[in-house]
A = this chain, B = another copy of it.
Amino acid sequence: MTGIIFDMDGVLYRGNTPIEGAKQVIEFLKERKIPFLFLTNNSTRTALMYREKLRSMGIDVPEESIVTSGLATRLYMERHFNPGKIFVIGGRGLHEEMEHLNWGTVSVDDARRGDWREVEYVVTGLDTGLTYEKLKYAALAIRNGAVFIGTNPDTTYPSEEGIVPGAGSILAALRASTDREPLIIGKPHEPVWEIVREKLKAGEVWVVGDRLDTDIAFAKRIGARAVMVLTGVNSLRDVEKSEIEPDLILPSIKGLIDYLKTFD
Residues of A in contact with B (beta carbons under 8 Å apart): 127-133, 135-136, 139-140, 143-144, 155-156, 161-166, 168-177
Contacts and interface: CB of A to CB of B under 8 A. Distances in A.
A139 B168 contact: no
Contacts of A132: 127-131, 165
Which 3 A-B residue pairs are closest in the complex by CB-CB distance? A172-B176, A165-B177, A130-B132
A176 B171 CA distance: 9
A128 B135 CA distance: 10
Nearest to A161: B140
Given A140-B163, A168-B177, A172-B176, 16 more contacts: A128-B132, A128-B133, A129-B131, A129-B132, A130-B131, A130-B135, A131-B131, A132-B165, A135-B169, A139-B156, A143-B162, A155-B176, A164-B177, A165-B173, A171-B176, A172-B172
A16 to B, nearest CB: 20
Contacts of A130: 130-132, 135
Nearest to A133: B128
Contacts of A165: 132, 135-136, 139, 173-174, 176-177
B164 A169 contact: no
A173 B164 CA distance: 11
Nearest to A175: B172
Contacts of A162: 140, 143-144
B136 A164 contact: yes
A118 to B, nearest CB: 14
A88 B95 CA distance: 31
Contacts of A172: 172-173, 175-176
B169 A170 contact: no
Contact of A164 (B139, B166, B171): B139
A155 B177 contact: yes
Nearest to A141: B162
A238 to B, nearest CB: 13
A135 B173 CA distance: 11
Residue among A129, A175, A176 with the most chain B CB within 10 A? A176
Nearest to A155: B176
Contacts of A175: 172
Contacts of A166: 177
12 contacts: A135-B165, A136-B164, A136-B165, A139-B156, A140-B161, A140-B163, A143-B163, A156-B177, A166-B177, A168-B177, A169-B173, A171-B176
